[in-house]
Structure formats: structure tokens, C-alpha cells
Amino acid sequence: MLGTFQQSQLRIEISASVDTINQSLLRPMQIEKWLLGQRFAPGIPEELHSGVQFTSWTGPVAIHHQVDVARFNCLRLLLSGGIDGFHEWYWGEGWIQSRIEGISLLPLSLGQTLNLLSLRQFLATQKH
């Protein structure tokens, strides 16, 4: 894999319930509404669970995802292809934490920050 080792961990406060955050992170149809600059291959199940595998694209770069853990308050994805590493999500009432580590040419910290801000904005509109 070409690229450099990168790691980033961010935690933000968010005005949303655990249930709303859960649906926004474990249901691909909801993820597609807030995830910036990525598209998913068809055939992803309605809800993510351990063992699910799928591919997304950031521009021309394919990233293969394998769901390692999917629970009510956490999600861990093993990544390969455009990113070789993992992405973990944890959440609770009013907060979300994201941790990503991997080797990639993509700017992981920038993408992570933009995605968290986009998710925060999306969740703010879900209350109305």
C-alpha cells in the first residue's frame, strides 16, 4: 500500500439522542445522506452488522469495508484498498467519537473532520 501512516481521533458534542445517532451510523440509507464525497456499491443490507462487507468510492479510489463490530453504541470497520487500517465510531447521548488509523494517500484527518461536521449538521435537521 502506498501512502503514509495516519491516525486521528475526534470527539464532538451533538444535539441528538443515542437512537438517532445509532440509526445514522448503522443504516447505510441514512449514512448516504450525510457522508461527503463517497458512494457505495449496491447490495449493502438495510442495517450494518458484524461480517458485512461492502465497497465505497472516494472519487476513483475504492475502499473495501468489513464490519468487525456493530452494536447499539459502536461500529468498527476494517478497511483495505484506498485505506489500509480501521475506523471506529462510538456514541452516546449528545456525543460522537471517531477514531481512524491507516496507511493511505488520502488525507484521513481532513476527511474525518468534514464527515463529523456533516453528520452533526444532518442530525440537527433530523429533530424537525
Query: Residue 59 belongs to a domain with what CATH number?
Result: 3.30.530.20
Helices vs strands, H then E, count in the chain: 3, 7
The 10s digit of each residue's pLDDT in 77-127 is 999 999 999 999 999 999 999 999 999 999 999 999 999 999 999 999 886
pLDDT at 21: 95
- Residue 37 confidence (pLDDT): 83
| Total of domains in the chain | 1
In 13-107, which residue ranges form alpha helices assigned H by DSSP? 18-26, 28-34
Each residue of 10-54: pLDDT tens digit? 999 998 999 999 999 999 999 999 998 888 988 899 999 999 999
What domain range is 67 assigned to?
4-126
The number of residues in the chain equals 128
Average pLDDT, the chain: 93
Q: Which residue type does 119 have?
A: L
pTM: 0.93
pLDDT higher than 70, residue 128:
no
**All cell numbers assigned to 21:** 445517532
pLDDT confidence tier of residue 1, bands split at 50, 70 and 90: low
Task: Enter the C-alpha cell of residue 40.
Answer: 457505495
